[in-house]
A and B are shown apart, each in its own frame.
Chain A
Amino acid sequence: MFRNRVGTRIQRTGLAVLLVSSSIWAQNASSSNQEIITQLAEQIKQLQLQDRELQARIKTLEDSQLKAPPLTEPDSAAPAALPVSAEQPGPPPTFDWHDLHGIQWRGFGEVNYQVLDQRSPELGTDGFVPGSAGNFYTGDFDLFLSAKLDDKTSVLAEIAFGELDHQTFNVDLERFLLQYEFSDYLKMSFGRYHTGIGYFNTAFRSAKFLLTTADRPLIMQFADEGGLLPTQAVGVSITGLVPSGRLGLNYLFEYGSSDTLRPDINGSGNIDDENNGNHINVGLFVRPEVLPGLQIGGSFYHDRISDSTMPSSVRIGQTIINAHVVYVAHGFEILNEGFLIRHALGNGVAFNTPAFYSQFSKRFGNIRPFFRYQYVNTNQKSTIFDDISLRYGPSFGGRYEFTESIAFKAQLDHTVRKNQPDLNGLQMQVAFAF
């Protein structure tokens, strides 16, 4: 305030002097030039003195402001519980800040166009029906809401309206979580969550808008869309930092049950009920300070499942190991994840399913071209993923951002399938957030 007043005074004085000088300039030519110059010189001297005085007062005030807060605590970002200070200049105003009360709503939507050259229709995803005459579908419409219960406790829910055949829709509670953040080292969530197997599932959730590509890689597809992983579960999830200095080590621990229903993707119409037991999932990843945007990590998941082709008394040990290297910064998005899914029947027989995907993209203004390559190879002797077999191939395309909330994507896919014709597809999508 004082600084503004000083500035205003200087400005007014300057304006006055300019006016005075202009008026003097315009005065009668008969006046002595010497006399005018003397007057001006005196005025300049006075202004200079005044200016110096004001600058000194400003400096004094600024110095006192900088020194005012006592920096007496140790130099660390680790305050104890904030102490009460007598320095607080008067009672603070009371604000009704919008983010402290009520429910925050967000939404994500998409409209899709897809064509495939497959002759025998496979499982459609997100409302797309392979083999039907129509090519448009809406995919998921997500409503995301969150509410803060207190400074450290919040609730979030994600409700997805998914398109089925004949433009009918179902409702899926994607996530429903009570979250508590004790500190950066301990954050707990209770409820229905996206499992932290690898990077993708928790980085992109179910909103297509957040994806660079038009769809998820097959290995990361949601289980109810034919994906291989237990992508959702109900239970408890604990995450946090591990004190590790500049390494930025984080941990993840999940205990819950997935109860996965997985339709075969070969169009047979079969649905596998894995009847999962409680799972345990632990993960570690580093985000080194030296290279912001880099994440390297892995996870280990284990539960026991049933196979619908076997008696329910037969339980199969399911172990999923993930490793990932991800870099997202400076307009680059480089995602690399590898998986090994192991099903052990308990009689010494085990089936391994390796899978990976790599995705590269770089933003150029509003356009982000991308390339993705994916690979899944299931053992055909296994009755769990026998509908998939070997599939691999590239996808490429581009994402154009109309605004920060609306994006258009075009994507071409080529998928090689073992003992079946190759599959080519075109996807176009408008995805948005609101």
Chain B
Amino acid sequence: MKISMAALLLGCLLTATLAQVSSPQNQDVAVVVNPKNPVSNLSGSELRRIFAGEKRIWAGGVSIKIITRAPGSYEHVVLLRLLRMNEKEYKQYWIAQVFHGEAQAGPITLFSNGMQKEAIMVFPGAIALVDLIDVKPGMKVLKVDGHSPGEPGYPAALNGNSH
């Protein structure tokens, strides 16, 4: 009996540890750009306007390149929350943006944060949302409204579980 209880206890302990280590679903999402980009802070509304394709050029003249994760990912959920759209509205929004001539194509949609990192490195004006736990060297994390991800005051819209 004692043995079985000890084994059970051990199993629970390890399961909890593994869950804590591997679950990305409780993290803030970081706003990342190319390391060469001197921007270090964006306001919440600037961030929304960037991902809505309304603000398309960094003030220095470099075109903004929006990188997004594919539907179903944690980052995509956060993106929709930021834009206050559902998936259908998001797709129709970009159809309209392209047709208006406001964008040549929709955002580049990638299937992993590793691919996002590659894209961030390739495009000087790139910006992406990346789960904080997946932030890698080669990504520059921006503050939003003066707060870094994980800090109190970081916008709730950038945490998919906050609502």
**Residue of A whose beta carbon sits closest to that of B150:** A66
Task: Indicate if the CB atoms of A210 and B99 lie closer than 8 Å.
Answer: yes
Chain B residue contacts of A68, Cβ below 8 A: 137
A83–B84 contact, CB under 8 A? no
Assess the B96–A246 pair: CB atoms within 8 A.
no
Say whether A82 contacts B62, CB under 8 Å: yes
Instruction: Contacts A75-B146, A77-B46, A106-B98 given; indicate if A10 touches B21 (C-beta within 8 A).
Output: yes
Query: Which residues of the other chain, A, contact B45 by a CB distance below 8 angstroms?
Result: 246, 289, 292
State in angstroms the CA–CA spacing of A152 and B62 once bound together: 9
Q: Does A93 contact B (CB under 8 A)?
A: yes
Interface residues of B in 48-65 (CB under 8 A from A): 48, 55-63
Interface status of A330 (Cβ within 8 A of chain B): yes
Q: How far is the CB of A241 from chain B (nearest CB, A)?
A: 8
**Complex Cα spacing A69 to B125, Å:** 16
| Interface size classification for chain A | 35 or more
B17 touching A51 by the CB < 8 A rule? Answer: yes
A25-78 contacts to B (CB < 8 Å)? 25, 33, 36-37, 40-41, 43-44, 47, 51, 55, 58, 62, 65-66, 68-69, 71-78
List residues of chain B with CB within 8 A of the CB of A83: 36, 38
**A21-B6 contact in complex given A76-B39, A88-B35, A144-B99, C-beta closer than 8 Å:** yes
B153 contacts the other chain (CB 8 A): no
A79 touching B101 by the CB < 8 A rule? no
| In the complex, B163 has a CB within 8 A of chain A | no
A21 to B45, CA, bound (A): 54
Task: Identify A37's interface contact among B6, B21, B62, B63, CB under 8 A.
Answer: B6
Task: Give the CA-CA distance A184 to B13 in the complex, in Å.
Answer: 54
**A17→B2 contact, CB < 8 A:** no
Interface string of B1-29 (1 = CB under 8 A from A): 01110110011011101100110000000
Interface status of A415 (Cβ within 8 A of chain B): no
Q: Across the two chains, which residue of chain B brings its CB closest to A66?
A: B141
In the bound complex, residues from chain A placing their C-beta under 8 Å from that of B101 are: 146, 154, 156, 175, 177, 179, 189
In the assembly, what is the distance between CA of A207 and CA of B101, in Å?
A: 13
Cross-chain contact A82 with B7 (CB below 8 angstroms): no
Contact B35 A17 (CB under 8 A): no
Binary B-proximity of A195-234 (CB < 8 A = 1, otherwise 0): 0000000110101011000000000000000000000000
B94 to chain A, nearest CB (A): 10
Contact residues of A between 131 and 187, Cβ < 8 Å to B: 144, 146-148, 151-152, 154, 156, 158, 175, 177, 179, 181-184
Instruction: Please report the C-alpha to C-alpha distance between residue A331 and residue B84 in the assembled complex, in whole angstroms.
Output: 10
* Alpha-carbon distance between A41 and B3 when the two chains are bound, in angstroms: 11
Contact residues, B137-155 vs A (CB, 8 A): 137-141, 143, 146, 148
Q: Which 4 A-B pairs have the closest CB atoms?
A: A78-B59, A69-B140, A75-B41, A14-B14
Q: A66-B141, A73-B40 are in contact. List 12 more A-B contacts (CB 8 A).
A: A10-B21, A18-B14, A62-B133, A62-B135, A69-B140, A78-B60, A92-B122, A106-B95, A144-B98, A151-B62, A154-B104, A179-B101
12 interchain pairs, CB-CB under 8 A:
A7-B21, A65-B135, A71-B140, A73-B40, A79-B62, A81-B61, A82-B38, A88-B138, A93-B122, A175-B101, A205-B99, A331-B89
